[in-house]
Chains A and B, each alone.
Chain A
Amino acid sequence: QAGLTQPPSMSKDLRQTATLTCTGNSNNVGNQGAGWLQQHQGRPPKPLSYRDNNRPSGISERFSASRSGNTASLTITGLQPEDEADYYCSAWDKSLNAVVFGGGTKLTVL
């Protein structure tokens, strides 16, 4: 199954803002929006947002998601050391009848 496209890595300075992108098509991201997951090494994925900008309880307001057409974005403000992790986007693909994931972006906080 075809996946979503994410840049493999990004580096940002402490306290700066990072914007991660995820590109799909009209059958997935453009149809029902995207979700974002954070994963630290050796830990399970943790949902940060779903259906574009719905944030689960307990998730910091420093994480915000948006979408423009077939591209979803996750913006992390005031970067902290604990934000260093892998970030995956996900979406339901109505054509494939499957969940599709991006390959993940490894965020390094300098």
Chain B
Amino acid sequence: EVQLVESGGDLVQPGGSLRLSCVASGFIFSNYWMHWVRQVPGKGLEWVSRIDSDGSGTSHADSVKGRFTISRDNAKNTVYLQMNSLRVEDTAVYYCGSVFEYWGQGILVTVSS
């Protein structure tokens, strides 16, 4: 059974930092590009970041470029999202997954003073 479990979500003040983690199981993690996607409750899906299967390439949405960094550890079947300089508008449920095949359950990040 495929599982993707996100962790690290929290309430943080504007300007603060958080690191999200996503542990995968049930599929060959190292074969897949992995992504982070976010969703404001009641709104649509917004792609955030992606990383190649071996970690050699990454890309980020313009809205987070320079503030968020995606990374992975294939030995631990884990993908990370380091989020710095957080803004109120970063408040959302964050999902990790391969997008086209597998999704996690999501984790809530709230940025508020």
A and B part of one assembly: yes
Interface string of A53-97 (1 = CB under 8 A from B): 000100000000000000000000000000000001010000001
| Chain B hits for A101, CB < 8 A | 37, 44-47
Q: Given that A1-B47, A45-B45, A104-B45 are contacting pairs, would A97 and B59 also be in contact in the complex, using a CB cutoff of 8 Å?
A: yes
| CB-based contact A47/B103 at 8 Å | yes
A46 within 8 A of B: yes
Q: Which residue of B lies closest to A99 (CB)?
A: B47
| Chain B hits for A37, CB < 8 A | 45, 103
Q: Which residue of B lies closest to A47 (CB)?
A: B101
A44 to B3, CA, bound (A): 13
A24 within 8 A of B: no
B72 within 8 A of A: no
A1 to B106, CA, bound (A): 22
| CB-based contact B100/A46 at 8 Å | no
| CB-based contact A44/B95 at 8 Å | yes
A103 to B42, CA, bound (A): 12
| CB-based contact A47/B44 at 8 Å | no
A20 within 8 A of B: no
| CB-based contact B61/A98 at 8 Å | yes
A22 within 8 A of B: no
**A residues adjacent to B (C-beta < 8 A):** 1, 35, 37, 44-47, 50-51, 56, 88, 90, 97-104
Which are the 3 A-B pairs with shortest beta-carbon distances?
Answer: A50-B100, A99-B47, A35-B100
